[in-house]
Chains A and B, each alone.
Chain A
């Protein structure tokens, strides 16, 4: 199993801010989803973005991740505009979107091998300890398309155990997960925050029983 070193963040300017979004505005089609939205994420914080369906939670996460351009406003990572320091930002970011990016034809191990390689934690042996932790033992040689939705989700979320990234952005990570799976994620979030990382996620459920403090960002549905 790979070992993780605690990391230090090379920060220019504000030492205490990991990610800063300022005055973000998003327009989809004819509708303004949100405007003048601010978010300031410090190391060790977990942020939950919440709001009704269609309020723009996913769009906001995609803007923050740098996948979607904002109509107005700017996003800074470690004090640097993400458009300018894209490579540095994306080597410090783990984004798991609504689509899990699990290749249906590949087995759990093959999917993990790919993500381990591009996350800089190449697997040297079959990662049985990791598979056990995410509850996929015995399923590692089955193509992902033959697994249940929850099991496929677990393959995607196993990336959290292979991640050295300071910032995790997760769009609805609890979808299709059972109670044990949710508890497992809570535990992992606590680990990430304890080592000075941060998590931004969307969820419709209230994060009950989570062993860390939850900061809220609420989006209203704009007509």
Chain B
């Protein structure tokens, strides 16, 4: 009888390997963050440096830029695994494939969202976001980025076997992320006017929980189709 493997062993093996691979492809990690920074700095140049205007558009600009930069790096979730065969091996692991998917999503979140969370105060400063809204911006990013990683994983899993899946991926995902954008900017704007952002943030939390719980199943189904 072959050795029984614990889920923990297998999940940790995936996380370890993915971190190692990511550390060898650092440009893939840094580029989306630089892109975000450049896009956000373009707005004051294009619109004019009026502090009131910038403060007004800041939540939308930061969140739209964050969505676009997330799309840039999203494909690496499964692209390399698909082309080198690691994806097939993932489907052949004894544990439920959903666990492997969760491991991939967690690694992706840690590598893309944590730098964004660190950078968020700088973005707020660049666009003159009122001090009262900084906390709400940070919380909205903390709650929203897991949705980007998990819903994004569904899109990547569906398009990974297509040669030019990049543009399709954006078209597929951006409409799905509209609710997230609405609640996120609503939260930041409410906070900027001095009111409590708890309402929109609670709705975001609900979306996050829903996405995290359901996406592994959808990703698994999509991956089975993609490796065929």
Interface class of chain A by DSSP: loop
Q: Is A125 interfacial (CB 8 A cutoff)?
A: no
CA gap between A166 and B2 in the complex, in Å? 7
Q: Is B125 interfacial (CB 8 A cutoff)?
A: no
CA gap between A132 and B10 in the complex, in Å? 27
Q: Is B172 interfacial (CB 8 A cutoff)?
A: no
Chain B residues near A (Cβ < 8 Å): 1-5, 9-10, 12-13, 16-17, 20-21, 24-25, 80, 83-86, 88-89, 91-96, 227-228
Known: A68-B228, A105-B24. A91 touches B84 (CB 8 A): no
CA gap between A87 and B84 in the complex, in Å? 23
Q: Cβ of A67: which chain B residues have Cβ within 8 Å of it?
A: 88, 91-92, 227
Known: A120-B3, A121-B3. A101 touches B93 (CB 8 A): no
Determine whether the beta carbon of A103 is less than 8 Å from that of B2: no
> Considering only CB atoms, which chain B residue lies closest to A120 in the complex?
B3
In the assembled complex, the CB of A32 is this many whole angstroms from the nearest CB of chain B, namely: 16
Of the A-B pairs whose beta carbons lie under 8 Å apart in the complex, a sample of 17, sorted by A's number, is: A67-B91, A67-B92, A68-B228, A88-B94, A92-B2, A93-B92, A97-B88, A103-B21, A104-B84, A105-B21, A105-B25, A106-B21, A114-B17, A117-B13, A117-B16, A118-B5, A118-B93
Q: Cβ of B20: which chain A residues have Cβ within 8 Å of it?
A: 105-106, 110
Determine whether the beta carbon of B83 is less than 8 Å from that of A10: no
Q: Is A165 interfacial (CB 8 A cutoff)?
A: yes
Number of A-B contacts (CB under 8 A): 91
Known: A8-B1, A10-B1, A120-B5. A106 touches B85 (CB 8 A): no
Q: Cβ of B4: which chain A residues have Cβ within 8 Å of it?
A: 91, 120
Q: Cβ of B92: which chain A residues have Cβ within 8 Å of it?
A: 65-67, 90, 93, 95
In the assembled complex, the CB of A116 is this many whole angstroms from the nearest CB of chain B, namely: 9
Q: Cβ of B94: which chain A residues have Cβ within 8 Å of it?
A: 87-88, 90-91
